[in-house]
């Protein structure tokens, strides 16, 4: 399976288990790897035959800047489900959502959740 990477997307959202996170908000980063057969788009050179990176970005933005949730796991699952639901060419997707500088005791650069979902795994 071929892969398309959209990495380093940055968003500002109001997700988290703490009240302050929901009120003040914070940064979130997102990386997406989509598994697909790139033979046709590689031959036709037609954007309609593959995934449009701008639409992938908008899908991640919809979730990460959208309705607040408590867990990074929830955000990650929602992004993966949206990608599989919107792009029929994608057979599987790996999504990593990173929360830099989490408001927890200790010294952390970031926390992150990465999941991989295949078409049919969640009903799509």
At residue 123, does pLDDT exceed 50?
Answer: no
Q: Catalytic amino acids?
A: 99
pLDDT in the model for residue 42: 96
CA angle at residue 18 from 15 to 22, to 5 degrees? 40
Contacts of 111 (CB under 8 A, 6+ apart): 72, 98, 99, 102, 104
CA 73 to chain centroid: 11
- Taken in order of first residue, the domains within the chain and their CATH numbers are 2-103 (3.30.1130.10)
Rounded to whole angstroms, how far apart are CA atoms 32 and 3?
10
pTM for the whole structure? 0.92
Assess contact for 67 and 76: CB atoms under 8 A: no
Q: What does the pLDDT look like over 14-36, one tens digit per residue?
A: 999 999 999 999 999 999 999 99
pLDDT in the model for residue 121: 60
Structure-token pair, residue 66? 């959208």
Q: What does the pLDDT look like over 43-88, one tens digit per residue?
A: 999 999 999 999 999 999 999 999 999 999 999 999 999 999 999 9
């Amino acid at each position: 399976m071929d892969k398309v990477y959209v990495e380093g997307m940055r968003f500002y959202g109001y997700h988290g288990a703490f009240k302050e996170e929901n009120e003040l908000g914070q940064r979130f980063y997102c990386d997406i790897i989509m598994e697909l057969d790139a033979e046709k788009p590689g031959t036709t050179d037609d954007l309609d035959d593959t995934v449009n990176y701008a639409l992938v970005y908008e899908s991640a933005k919809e979730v990460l800047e959208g309705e607040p949730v408590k867990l990074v796991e929830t955000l990650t699952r929602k992004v993966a489900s949206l990608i599989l639901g919107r792009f029929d060419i994608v057979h599987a997707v790996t999504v990593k959502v990173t929360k830099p500088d989490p408001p927890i005791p200790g010294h952390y650069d970031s926390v992150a959740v990465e999941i991989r979902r295949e078409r049919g795994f969640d009903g799509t």
